[in-house]
């Protein structure tokens, strides 16, 4: 009995960080954008803003899930910026289905979405989907609307070439 309990405890300790991280939605609040940029500084990062009520997002998310599998050197961050608040279960379900559960996932956690958008880009009116490609050097390229996978692949290749 003790041996089984010890084995179960060891398995729990080994798997807990991964299990706890996967499926977690971080609340995106004031100051989160700068925190996110600092955390990914020097790493090519794709930041995708989307929402569960966004039709094009439903098509694009699985493509981004495949992109994440194909490009392990790119940090993938999703931010649910839906205007409909309090949809964490639906958000997690869509990310799971799209293969993005292991990405770094955020959800707008402030009812004043305009303030959050202003911190990211003062000109952003809230249209989603929106993708921001943050290069190793911090240069940001913004894609309004759905991103073309060919363009994401080209950007990823440029990031890899910058290392050579």
Q: Cis link prior to 92 (omega < 30° from 0)? A: no
pLDDT tens-digit readout, 54-80: 999 999 999 999 999 999 999 999 999
Question: Which pLDDT score is estimated for 163?
Answer: 78
Q: Return the H-helix or E-strand segment holding 47.
A: strand 45-50
Enter the DSSP assignment of 74: S
Looking at per-residue pLDDT, the higher value among 143 and 87 belongs to 143
Q: Return the H-helix or E-strand segment holding 30.
A: none
Average pLDDT taken over every residue of the chain: 86
Which two structure tokens, joined as six digits, stand for 20? 């706890």
CA max distance for the chain? 62
Looking at per-residue pLDDT, the higher value among 57 and 162 belongs to 57
């Amino acid at each position: 009995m003790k041996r089984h309990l010890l084995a179960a405890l060891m398995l729990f300790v080994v798997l807990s960080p991964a299990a706890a991280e996967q499926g977690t939605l971080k609340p995106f609040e004031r100051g989160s954008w700068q925190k996110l940029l600092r955390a990914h500084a020097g790493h090519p990062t794709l930041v995708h803003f989307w929402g569960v009520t966004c039709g094009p997002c439903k098509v694009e998310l699985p493509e981004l899930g495949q992109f994440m599998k194909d490009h392990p050197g790119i940090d993938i961050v999703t931010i649910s910026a839906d205007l409909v608040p309090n949809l964490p279960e639906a958000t997690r379900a869509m990310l799971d289905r799209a293969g993005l559960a292991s990405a770094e996932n955020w959800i707008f956690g402030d009812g004043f979405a305009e303030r959050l958008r202003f911190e990211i880009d003062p000109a952003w009116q809230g249209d989603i989907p929106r993708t921001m490609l943050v290069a190793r050097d911090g240069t940001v390229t913004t894609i309004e609307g759905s991103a073309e996978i060919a363009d994401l692949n080209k950007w990823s290749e440029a990031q890899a070439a910058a290392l050579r």
